[in-house]
Structure 1
Amino acid sequence: MSRTTPRVTIWNEYRHERSSPDVQRIYPAGIHEALREGLAPYGFELVTATLDEPEHGLPVEALARTDVLIWWGHRAHDEVDDEIVDRVQRRVLEGMGLIVLHSGHYSKIFKRLMGTSCALLWREADEKERLWVVKPSHPVAAGLPPYFELAKEEMYGEFFDVPDPDELVLVSWFEGGEVFRSGCAYSRGNGKIFYFRPGHETYPTYYNAHVLRVIANAVRWTADERGEAPRFGNAQPLETIALKA
C-alpha cells in the first residue's frame, strides 16, 4: 500500500543561485523552489530546506515527518555536517525514501549509502542528452515515452563508480558519444533510493515535463509503504512468537 499523500522535503544547497547571475536568471528563487512548483500538480505535501538554514533545514523533527527527501548539491558537499549525514542515513535505513539529483552523486549521503567514490566523467559542452527508458515496467517509468531529449545538458559519462543498481530504469546518450546510467534504483535497509542524472544548474532542466514526471514517479516509488520493520536482537523461540500472534 502506498501513502495517499507523500510528505516530501526538497533539499537544495542554494549557493549557485545566489552567486551566479546566469543561474539566477534560470532559477530566480532557487532550484528547490522550481522543483516545488513543478511537483505541486502531483498533489504531494512539499516543503523545502537549504544548506545555510540551522541544521541545514533538516532537524530531527523535520526528517521524522518526511517520507521522501530530494537532494541537490554541487559546490558545498563538504559543508554538510556529518551529524546531519548520520541523521539522514538513519532515516533512510528506517524507510524514508531518498532521491539524489545530478551532482548530488558526490554528496556525503549518497557516497555513504553507496559505499563507493561515486566518481564519473563529466564535460560542460551544451550537448543534447537523450534519455532512454530501459525498464518500462518500473514504476519510475510510468507515463514516459520510449525516450525523451534535453536540448542542452552537462555530460556525465561512464565509468560511474556506484554499485550495480538493483534496477536500471534510464540510460543517457550524449552527442559526444558517451552513455551513462541515469536512472538507478537501490534499496538500503528499509528505504528506497533513486539516483536521477539530469539537472545542471545552468540549464532549465527542472522545468521539463518529462524530468518532473520521473521525479514525481520516483517520489511515489520511494514513498511506498514497507512491510513490518525487521526485529533484531535476542530472539524468542518461534513457537512462542506464533502463540502470541
Structure 2
Amino acid sequence: MLKVTIWNEFRHEVQDAEVREVYPKGIHGALADGLAPYGFDLRTATLDEPEHGLTEEVLNSTDVLLWWGHLAHGEVSDEIVNRVHQRVLDGMGLIVLHSGHCAKIFAKLMGTNTCALKWREADETERLWVINPAHPIAAGIGEYIELEREEMYGEHFNIPAPDELVFISWFEGGEVFRSGVTYHRGRGKIFYFRPGHETYPTYYNEQIVRVIANGVNWAAPSDTARPVYGHAQPLQEIRGKVTAL
C-alpha cells in the first residue's frame, strides 16, 4: 500500500470565509477524502505543525508527497525544503498542485529562482486536453476534462522543458497552459498539475481526483539501482599504458 502525505499550507481556509465554505476540512482534507477510495495509506500535514508536519520520520515513511501552497511560500523553512529535496532525489515521488508552482521546493527542483506565469481570476471555463493519451497519468480520462470555473494560468510558464507533457489547458479568455508536466530528478519523479484554485470546488471533481491518484501511482518509488558517486575502484585489472620503444 502506497504511503501518501498530503501537505497543505492551510492558510486560506483559516483566514478566508469564502474558501472555508468551499473546503471546510481544508484542501488537504478534501484531497484525502477524494483519494481514500484508491486504497492509499493517507496522512496530512500543514505549515503550522512542528517542522511543517514533515519530520524526518514522516518523510522517510512517505512514498509520494502532495504539495499545495499559495500565501506562505516564504514561511516554509529552508531546512525542510532541503529535507524534501533530498528525499525526492532518493526516490520519493512529488506531486505539486496549482499555485505550488511558486513553492520553494518546486523552484529548487526545477533549478530556477522563479516558475512565473500569467494568471487571472475571472470565473473562466478551463478545458484540459490530454496530449499524451498513452501516459498512465491520463488513464481513465477521455479527450479532455472541462471545468466550468477556474483561475486562468497562461504561458509563458517559466519552467525547464518537461520530460513529458500530459495535459495542455485552454481557457475561455484565450490563453493556453502546460497544465500537466513530469520530471525526473535523481531517483524521484515529479508531476505538476495545474487545477485547484482555492475558491473553486475543483478537488471534488472526480476526474481531477482520478488524475491525482494516477499521478501518485506513477510517481511511486521504483525498485531501481541506487547510483554511486565519487571515486570508484576499477571492476577489473587495468593494464598500464604501453610505452613505445
Category of TM-score, reference length = shorter chain? over 0.9
Give 1:237's aligned amino acid: P
8 Å Cα contact 1:190/1:226 also seen in 2: no
Alpha-carbon separation, structure 2, partners of 1:19 and 1:103: 17
Aligned twin of 1:216: 213
Alpha-carbon separation, structure 1, partners of 2:46 and 2:98: 16
Aligned twin of 1:193: 190
Out of 136, 143, 165, the residue aligned to residue 168 of structure 1 is 165
Out of 98, 119, 133, the residue aligned to residue 136 of structure 1 is 133
Aligned twin of 1:22: 18
Give 1:41's aligned amino acid: P
- Provide structure 1 residue ranges, at least 5 long, that are not aligned to the other structure: 241-245
Q: CA deviation at 1:228?
A: 1.2
Q: CA deviation at 1:126?
A: 0.3
Out of 120, 123, 127, the residue aligned to residue 126 of structure 1 is 123
Paired residues in the alignment total 236
Counterpart check, 1:87 vs 2:112: no
Q: CA deviation at 1:6?
A: 1.0
Over residues 202-237 of structure 1, what are the superposed CA-to-partner deviations in whole Å (9 max), with x where a residue is unaligned? 000000011001100000000041411111122121
- Which has the higher Rg, Structure 1 or Structure 2? 2
8 Å Cα contact 2:91/2:221 also seen in 1: no
Alpha-carbon separation, structure 1, partners of 2:180 and 2:61: 26
8 Å Cα contact 2:7/2:46 also seen in 1: yes
Out of 102, 107, 114, the residue aligned to residue 111 of structure 1 is 107
RMSD over aligned Cα atoms: 0.8
Normalised by the length of structure 2, the TM-score is 0.95
Alpha-carbon separation, structure 2, partners of 1:238 and 1:41: 49
Out of 36, 59, 62, the residue aligned to residue 63 of structure 1 is 59
Out of 38, 49, 53, the residue aligned to residue 53 of structure 1 is 49
Counterpart check, 1:7 vs 2:9: no
Q: CA deviation at 1:63?
A: 0.2
- Tell me the SS of whatever aligns to 1:56: helix
Alpha-carbon separation, structure 1, partners of 2:31 and 2:151: 19
Q: CA deviation at 1:39?
A: 0.2
- Tell me the SS of whatever aligns to 2:236: helix
8 Å Cα contact 2:92/2:221 also seen in 1: no
Normalised by the length of structure 1, the TM-score is 0.95
Alpha-carbon separation, structure 2, partners of 1:40 and 1:137: 25
Aligned twin of 1:101: 97
Alpha-carbon separation, structure 2, partners of 1:149 and 1:170: 12
- Tell me the SS of whatever aligns to 1:238: coil
Over residues 139-197 of structure 1, what are the superposed CA-to-partner deviations in whole Å (9 max), with x where a residue is unaligned? 10111101110000000000000001100000000000000000000000110000000
